[in-house]
Amino acid sequence: NDGPSTESLYSDDDSLYEQQRRELENAALVELELAKSKPVCFSVKTNMAFDANLNGYDSPLLDKTVSFAPKEFLHIKTKFDQNWWIGRQVRIGAPLCFIPSAAKLDFIRGHMMPTTDFSAMNPNGTNFQTAANENEPEAFENQEENETVPPTTPGLAGPKKNVTIHPSAPGGAKRKNLFKKAELPPYEIVPIMRPVVIIGPALKGYEVTDLMQKAMFDFIKKHFENRVIISRVSYDISVAKRLTSLQALDKKGPLERNRNRQIGGLS
């Protein structure tokens, strides 16, 4: 028998896998470098945890894959493929890395809890995966790839299936389904830039106040260099407070007059 041995077939498969893996890693390094000069496309808040050591086995670069907990914020710069985005955690000194896409997190969560329905709607009435697919072409319009991210598991954002309602089903079961707690999506879109509002001190024209404000603004400019826009509010907030008080008195006046008339009539 002159056919190839089993060991040689395994060796060829391993060599092919290693070659494909090296090509993927090289492409990932190039994309990471290019992403440094790209603006932030959108920002998300995480609703679930992700451990790169457990679920990042298919990441383009294992040592450059983010892990996060719920309620963290991520800046997304570009899309690498349907399962991985490139971005960073919103914290000082956080490097660019690979972030799992919404489709991948849905896939992971679906395998962790296979009986859970992840087609639930968010409070705004739209499924996150559908919303992400609608927004991604606009967000990535300056990128080479602007196709939408298809779901990796059936039923997440695909075509709706016909549902057969059995007349014999008890009404109580239907009501329970109506009030069933909606599952949170893996990500929520949030504003890219959030304002930092500083109020007080309000003693205008005093040298101490001016020095305190100048020191504070100088620190902010230096600490958040090229990342902060400072806007001074020229409107006097105390005027708004006085107007609110006057409006309250105007509303209170007729009520007090009516009350006094009623008391006078009783006496």
- Quick: pLDDT tens for 29-42: 999 999 999 999 99
Would you say residue 77 has pLDDT above 90? yes
Task: Say whether both 172 and 252 belong to one domain.
Answer: no
- Which of 7-21, 34-48, 142-156, 203-217 is predicted with the least confidence, judged by mean pLDDT? 142-156
Q: What is the pLDDT of residue 231?
A: 73
The number of distinct structural domains making up the chain is: 2
- Residue-range definition of the domain harbouring residue 234: 207-266
Task: Say whether both 117 and 233 belong to one domain.
Answer: no
Q: What is the pLDDT of residue 8?
A: 62
Residue 196 located in a structural domain: no
Would you say residue 181 has pLDDT above 60? no
3-class DSSP state for residue 43? strand
> pTM score > 0.85 for this model?
no
Residue 152 located in a structural domain: yes
Task: Say whether both 36 and 127 belong to one domain.
Answer: yes
Mean pLDDT of the chain: 72
Residue 97 located in a structural domain: yes
Task: Say whether both 136 and 180 belong to one domain.
Answer: yes
Q: What is the pLDDT of residue 160?
A: 40
Q: Which helix (H) or strand (E) holds 19?
A: helix 6-35
Closest CA to 184 of 134, 139, 124: 124
Between helix 128-139 and helix 102-112 the angle, nearest 10°, is 160
Task: Say whether both 152 and 236 belong to one domain.
Answer: no
Residue 82 located in a structural domain: yes
